A and B are shown apart, each in its own frame.
Chain A
Amino acid sequence: MKRRQFLKVSSGGLLLGFVLPGCEKPLPKITPQPISSKAETARFNAFVSISGEGKITLVVPSSEMGQGVHTGLAQILAEELDADWNRIEVVMARREDVYKHPQMGGMLTGGSNSVEGWYQPLRQAGATARAMLVAAAAKQWGAPVDACTTEAGAVVHLKKRLDYGALATAAAAQTPPSETALKDPKDFRLIGQPLPRLEVMDKCTGRAEFGIDVVREGMVYAAVTNGPVFGSKLAEHDENAAKAVAGVLAVVPVSGGVAVVADSYWQARLGLRALAPKFEAGPEAEVSSQTIEAQFRKDLAKEGGAVIKIGDAAKAMNGAAQKLEVLYQAPFLEHATMEPMNCTAHVTPEKTEIWAPTQVQDKCAAAVMAVTGQTIDQVVINTTLLGGGFGRRLEADYVTQATEVSKAVEKPVKLIWSREETTQHGFYRPASLCRFRIGLDKAGFPTAWQCRLVGPSRGVREDGDDTSLTRGVRELPYEIPDFAFDFVVSHTPVPTGYWRSVSHSHTGFYLEGVMDEVAHAGGQDPLELRRRLLQKNPRHLAVLNLAAEKAGWGKGQGVQGLAVHESFGSIVAEVVELSLEGKKVKVHRVTCAVDCGVAINPDMIAAQFEGGVVFGLTAAFYGKITLEYGAVKESNFHDYKLTTMRQAPEVEVHIVPSSEPPGGIGEPPVPPLAPALVNALFRAGAPRIRSLPLKDHGFTLANL
């Protein structure tokens, strides 16, 4: 009996009752290895190789961290190549210039833009290989190229048929055509389909290889303690005590801390404990969450950069019938990838090879070159599967450390951070403060809008902007005639980085929270107000309306709050439905609508929403990194909590059918969750909440 897969995804009714191809057959396996250089495998370009038996190797240039990019990019390649989906194998690309992301200037996976950036280039790569196969077949048959077509892995002419495998060598030897026609999207048979994740079975059997699973011959293990206070330096440590522990081979100072090397990870951990390292801290030890907040509040009085002025907001404020002045804030957040930080490095005089669950291959190479003094041609960067990335693995700090240790001990080294080290030595989502001064007219509509954001920056542009802080509140989708924005940089010693949805993780909360305040102040329904102000943004309107309709907004469904936000090329609206008993919050359901342009794989999209909502819920209720005496207080999952199975709501996802260029999907689900949640809480009778996490306001996320 054929299995039918019913998905809770609707996009014009296309997907209900869809039978997944190849469901009863063994799924193609992903092995993160370099392309084989066997003579019988013909290489068409950096992305497509075909063996004499017709096995198609697709090289994907993006890291797989659960977002489904290996499958999605393979769908794009295989579509234009017209490959047999059951005969493909996907491999992760090694770091090479040809795999630099077309828009990002380096080989990396982030910004939810793998599909967006690679869509056209990979279509071209697949189409080019297909054209070469057709040309080779046509030549062999003496037939006109125009009279040949392809059918999932073979070239066809009248009753003749040649498998891609049979043609591969001859085809790949040709000069690739400079231009190739791409398929008409209406002819897509793979793109748009909810094909199963290619590496799913490996992830169900323990066969999937993550960074922490890498094993090399002669490998030793390293455990690390990083200086607790940011910027602190290694001081006393008992090297003899460490070396007295069974299995310990060496003690190696590394950038940021000290490593103990042993013949197993556990012995290295015991060695670290015996080492008992102490660190000397500088003035950073005076920093705390309180001093940072006080500093931000003080800096609110400064004039910032990244200025935007539309109309005359100050003048319009003076004339406003009603004025609102509110302060929003959000804390530092750590990524909490389930796989802790780790890297395996092997430094030899001739070359250095690393294996890491990384999102940022070029930066890893630069880190290795800095430690070893080797050139780029001597450095090999292998990327494994990632047990979560969320932007944390856009850093190469642990790669530097692994390379330093391997260089010192002259062996391959697998360096693993504990959960405590991972939590306390992150590159955090920056904390920030946001002041809104909003003027409403007599009819209750916002006409004057002044916004100042205060927060730390890793590096501002010439105009004083740092898009990883300001995007999402610096430009509004809403029509406001008099608008002013500026951004005040307020430095702290806390290392900051890119946390899933980056600036939007806080600006989404600020903007969509204050929009509801504006609605309430003006006596408007939150949906109606947004509809009115989004008249010039039909895609936003469509998404908002779809979410509201599917959630049953205004139909006595339950207590609901909504939010709409655009990020990384996609527009998302979410409606959170909850019930409140005292301070206990039950989140029953979250209804999501998204316009992400062309949807490559609707099942992966749905999964990113299901997961992104849970991710957002965790941040909203629990997410907070506290600084005490210059160090992070939180350490493990008991004090840096994650949403559990018992608390997790049902998530429904609705995709707006679109043929626009593809937008992102990994990050866009996160920003609307927190504001929709606090908006719903307000509706439930809770006070207006302008800072996160909710636990600081006494709220608990209750079991369902």
Chain B
Amino acid sequence: MKLLVNGKEVEVQVDPETPLLWVLRDTLGYRGTKFGCGMMLCGACTVHLDGSPTRTCMTPVKMAEGKAITTIEGLSPDGSHPLQRAWTEVGVPQCGYCQSGQIMVAAALLKKNPNPTEDEIRTSMVNLCRCGTYQRIRKAVSRAAEMMRGED
């Protein structure tokens, strides 16, 4: 089947029921998206399907056909996305394992809502973080929003 990943069209030979997560990681080598729970409870496996944040650990790859898949690797070529810069500035990651998913959720939020309130950030950032970086995630999302609005 043909998939469109980070702007590139790729051909994969996999069982169409294979979760997209494992196609991205094992077949295509995009290992920035992580396996946390396998039951869509934690969000470490979040990518964008046509811009919508999607948990891929239980999404069969066939459902991604014909959609634009964006992984953390596709957010920017060099870490220059405002979220990645804000994340770095605030010092968000600790172990870092959940952060790809967190950033993908934040990217979708800011696309829809360029000026989220703290409450809106709290409500949208639904992914789990075992290290407890939530406080800094909140700050970094606000900071990235500032950057994106040009309020630098």
- For the complex, what is the distance from the CA of A214 to the CA of B76, rounded to whole Å? 23
* CB-CB under 8 A for A66 and B131, given A265-B26, A387-B95, A419-B38: yes
- Which of A195-203, A542-550, A567-575 contacts the other chain? A195-203
* CB-CB under 8 A for A206 and B39, given A65-B95, A67-B94, A338-B129: no
CB-nearest residue of chain B to A642: B128
CB-nearest residue of chain B to A208: B96
- For the complex, what is the distance from the CA of A66 to the CA of B131, rounded to whole Å? 8
Question: Chain B's nearest CB lies how many Å from the CB of A273?
Answer: 13
B132 with A206: CB separation less than 8 A: no
Choose one: A196, A611, A614, A648; the contact of B88 (CB below 8 Å): A196
B94 with A611: CB separation less than 8 A: yes
Choose one: A199, A385, A603, A651; the contact of B135 (CB below 8 Å): A651
* CB-CB under 8 A for A416 and B93, given A636-B41, A637-B41, A704-B122: no
Contacts of A610 in B (CB 8 A): 132-133, 135-136
A336 with B130: CB separation less than 8 A: yes
- The number of chain A residues with a CB under 8 A from chain B is 67
Contacts of A636 in B (CB 8 A): 37-39, 41
- For the complex, what is the distance from the CA of A629 to the CA of B27, rounded to whole Å? 40
Contacts of B78 in A (CB 8 A): 205
Chain B, residues 114-147, CB within 8 Å of chain A (1/0): the string is 0000000111011111111111111000000000
Question: Chain A's nearest CB lies how many Å from the CB of B46?
Answer: 12
Question: Chain B's nearest CB lies how many Å from the CB of A36?
Answer: 23
Choose one: B18, B39, B92, B136; the contact of A637 (CB below 8 Å): B39
- Find the residue from B38, B73, B121 having the highest chain A CB count within 10 A: B38
- For the complex, what is the distance from the CA of A405 to the CA of B84, rounded to whole Å? 39
Contacts of B126 in A (CB 8 A): 644-645
Choose one: A204, A336, A613, A651; the contact of B87 (CB below 8 Å): A204
Let me know if A96 is at the binding interface, CB within 8 A. no
Contacts of A650 in B (CB 8 A): 135
- For the complex, what is the distance from the CA of A416 to the CA of B97, rounded to whole Å? 15
Question: Chain B's nearest CB lies how many Å from the CB of A72?
Answer: 13
Question: Chain B's nearest CB lies how many Å from the CB of A590?
Answer: 10
- For the complex, what is the distance from the CA of A686 to the CA of B3, rounded to whole Å? 56
CB-nearest residue of chain A to B57: A419
Chain A, residues 618-660, CB within 8 Å of chain B (1/0): the string is 0000000000000000001110001111101011000000000
A614 with B132: CB separation less than 8 A: yes
- For the complex, what is the distance from the CA of A637 to the CA of B45, rounded to whole Å? 14
Contacts of A704 in B (CB 8 A): 122
- For the complex, what is the distance from the CA of A703 to the CA of B26, rounded to whole Å? 37
Let me know if A5 is at the binding interface, CB within 8 A. yes
* CB-CB under 8 A for A201 and B31, given A636-B41, A645-B122: no
Let me know if B50 is at the binding interface, CB within 8 A. no
- Find the residue from B32, B83, B135, B152 having the highest chain A CB count within 10 A: B135
* CB-CB under 8 A for A204 and B91, given A336-B130, A610-B135: no
Choose one: B15, B30, B128; the contact of A206 (CB below 8 Å): B30
Contacts of A614 in B (CB 8 A): 129, 131-132, 134
Contacts of B33 in A (CB 8 A): 206
A648 with B91: CB separation less than 8 A: no
A338 with B88: CB separation less than 8 A: no
Let me know if A264 is at the binding interface, CB within 8 A. yes
Question: Chain A's nearest CB lies how many Å from the CB of B20?
Answer: 10
Contacts of A644 in B (CB 8 A): 126, 128, 134
Let me know if A518 is at the binding interface, CB within 8 A. no
B34 with A419: CB separation less than 8 A: no
Let me know if A160 is at the binding interface, CB within 8 A. no
- Find the residue from A5, A387, A614 having the highest chain B CB count within 10 A: A387
Let me know if B103 is at the binding interface, CB within 8 A. yes
Question: Chain B's nearest CB lies how many Å from the CB of A106?
Answer: 23
Contacts of B89 in A (CB 8 A): 3, 5, 23
Let me know if B72 is at the binding interface, CB within 8 A. yes
A206 with B71: CB separation less than 8 A: yes
A388 with B97: CB separation less than 8 A: yes
- The number of chain B residues with a CB under 8 A from chain A is 62
Chain A, residues 382-413, CB within 8 Å of chain B (1/0): the string is 00011111000000000000000000000000
Q: Which of A456-495 contact B (CB under 8 A)?
A: none
- For the complex, what is the distance from the CA of A264 to the CA of B132, rounded to whole Å? 32
Choose one: A205, A339, A340; the contact of B79 (CB below 8 Å): A205
B37 with A200: CB separation less than 8 A: no
Q: Which of A657-704 contact B (CB under 8 A)?
A: 703-704
CB-nearest residue of chain B to A210: B97
Chain A, residues 171-213, CB within 8 Å of chain B (1/0): the string is 0000000000000000000000000110111111111111011
Contacts of A645 in B (CB 8 A): 121-122, 125-127, 129, 134, 137-138
Question: Chain A's nearest CB lies how many Å from the CB of B44?
Answer: 6
Question: Chain B's nearest CB lies how many Å from the CB of A259?
Answer: 17
B131 with A419: CB separation less than 8 A: no
- For the complex, what is the distance from the CA of A646 to the CA of B88, rounded to whole Å? 22
Question: Chain B's nearest CB lies how many Å from the CB of A9?
Answer: 11
Choose one: A3, A68, A210, A419; the contact of B37 (CB below 8 Å): A419
A206 with B31: CB separation less than 8 A: yes
CB-nearest residue of chain B to A68: B94
Let me know if A27 is at the binding interface, CB within 8 A. yes
Let me know if A246 is at the binding interface, CB within 8 A. yes
Let me know if B108 is at the binding interface, CB within 8 A. no
- For the complex, what is the distance from the CA of A246 to the CA of B18, rounded to whole Å? 12
A-B contact pairs, 17 of them (CB 8 A): A23-B89, A203-B93, A204-B93, A265-B22, A338-B128, A386-B95, A388-B95, A607-B136, A610-B133, A611-B94, A611-B131, A636-B38, A637-B37, A638-B39, A643-B132, A645-B127, A646-B122
Q: A residues bordering B, Cβ < 8 Å? A: 1, 3, 5, 23, 27, 65-68, 196-197, 199-210, 212-213, 215, 221, 246, 264-266, 336-340, 385-389, 416, 418-420, 603, 607-608, 610-615, 636-638, 642-646, 648, 650-651, 703-704
Q: B residues bordering A, Cβ < 8 Å? A: 15, 18-19, 22, 25-27, 29-39, 41-42, 44, 71-73, 75-76, 78-79, 83-84, 87-89, 91-100, 103, 121-123, 125-138, 152
Extra inter-chain contacts (15) besides given A202-B96, A703-B122, CB under 8 Å: A210-B34, A221-B26, A264-B26, A338-B44, A338-B130, A387-B98, A388-B130, A611-B131, A637-B41, A637-B128, A638-B39, A645-B125, A645-B126, A648-B132, A648-B135
10 closest cross-chain pairs (CB), A and B: A206-B32, A614-B132, A387-B97, A203-B96, A66-B94, A66-B95, A611-B132, A206-B72, A203-B93, A637-B41
